[in-house]
Amino acid sequence: SSRFTRRTRNINVSVRLEVVRSEDVPASLYVPDDDLLQRWADSACQRDDDVEASLRIVDSEESRRLNSDYRGKDRPTNVLSFPFEPPPGIPEEQEHLGDLVICAPVVFREAREQQKQPEAHWAHMVVHGVLHLQGYDHQNIEEAEEMESLERQILASLGYSDPYGEI
């Protein structure tokens, strides 16, 4: 049995999401409101208890810097996930899932290039990031298929089309 098997969970479980918006994000770009961000984060929560996470919405320069510092890639990226790693002696199961960083200009550009609605692409990035914070990954084909399947299920439940479908 896979450790990522979708299970029925308490639908009242939520992610206490702290949203921080960089003042450097161009005002002309679509950025969802906190209620939508919260709804998407809650939908991706696979835990049976309430948890918390932070989401920072950034510009391309901050994303590039973080991506360079933490992943060795000197370019901005759509979403970075920083799962919380408790110090030694602290139980692994913690309320704080970790931190997400989403680059508004990259999400906007990708949505345009992939002919997706910006809101749908944002929903995908939040769901994708929250799943990463819970240990889901796509480093190999099996993990990728499992994570993408779960993303499709969650996004469909929210009324969005398959993010991996053909354009």
What's the mean per-residue pLDDT of the chain? 89
Residues 51 and 88: beta-carbon distance below 8 Å: no
pLDDT at 4: 34
In percent, the amount of the chain with pLDDT more than 70 equals 89
pLDDT at 12: 55
Query: What DSSP assignment string belongs to 28-74?
Result: TS----HHHHHHHHHHH---SS-EEEEEEEE-HHHHHHHHHHHHS--
Report d(CA 62, CA 145) in Å as an integer: 30
pLDDT at 127: 98
The β-bridge relationship of strands 79-83 and 96-103 is antiparallel
Please tell me the pTM assigned to this model: 0.88
Report d(CA 52, CA 167) in Å as an integer: 34
**Would you state the structure tokens that stand for residue 79, as one six-digit string?**
């979403």
Helix, coil or strand: residue 80: strand
pLDDT at 91: 75
